[in-house]
Amino acid sequence: MVRKRCIWILAMLAVIACGHVSPAAAFAQQPGVFHFGFKKSVNGQLPSIDEEGFKGIVTQHGALFLGDTSKKELYLTFDNGYENGYTPGILDVLKEKKVPAAFFVTGHYVKDQAELIKRMAGEGHIVGNHSWSHPDMSLLSEEQIRSELDKVKEQVLSLTGQKEMKYLRPPRGIFNERVLAASKRFGYTNVFWSLAYKDWDVNAQKGSQYAYEQVMKQLHPGAIMLLHSVSKDNADALGSIIDEARRQGYEFKSLDELTGSNSSSGTELLQ
């Protein structure tokens, strides 16, 4: 235990030396920092985070990771750290199939892909916050967290007129209770996931059939689905995933419908 503590202290000193965070913020990161993960769904059974040690603080602060597990409803979300050429096709499929989605965007994406941000909002999708610079937010002070989130919100507002930004996905799924509490005070609902696979490695794409199989074998009622838009496999498989999920009796819903928000996000797609 002492050795682990020493290693942690050395790591924090290195972070401070690099100038990424203040000493106070760095040493605020006590044990209790989590990387979101779960026991995956198999054969339609529900996934579980009961054994991960963080379910209590996730539920305490109103974070989402599952919808209503008594209903065959799905919530499709994408992480957009940068554009790899596939989001236009993804949006085409969503428009054709009339499926709402949430896109969690970084500052880099907002600056680099203004037209795609406008298209997401214009076609009724939710544009969510994935932070400005994709940091480990457990290392940041509360004011630094606010700054990371406000920059994204303000830039999206300037592009789309979207006055509200209610949903946050912490970068890399790293969080602690302080991150959840602070972001909740800033008006955000943290959105994690209950269905995901290793799709973000652009150098390890295995084909659309592989993506299809990875998603379908984890499908379960109330799933919040996390896909990365940089994946060619996901883009190529998306239409088939939607069609097969619907064949199995699933319905795609917006996060706003899950939270009971009055926002109209997603409704334009369903008319």
Task: Return the active site residues.
Answer: 79, 228
Using alpha carbons, list the distances in angstroms from residue 17 to 12, 13, 261. 9, 6, 43
**Which candidate, 264, 212, 220, places its Cα nearest to that of 75?**
220
Quick check: helix, strand or coil at residue 78? strand
Query: How is the chain split among helix, strand and coil, in percent rounded to 5?
Result: 45, 15, 40
Instruction: Please count the helices (runs of H) and the strands (runs of E) in the chain.
Output: 11, 9
Which structure tokens are listed for 35?
A: 């990387």
* Residue 189: φ, ψ to 5°: -100, 120
Q: Output the CA torsion sign for 177, 183, 186, 190.
A: negative
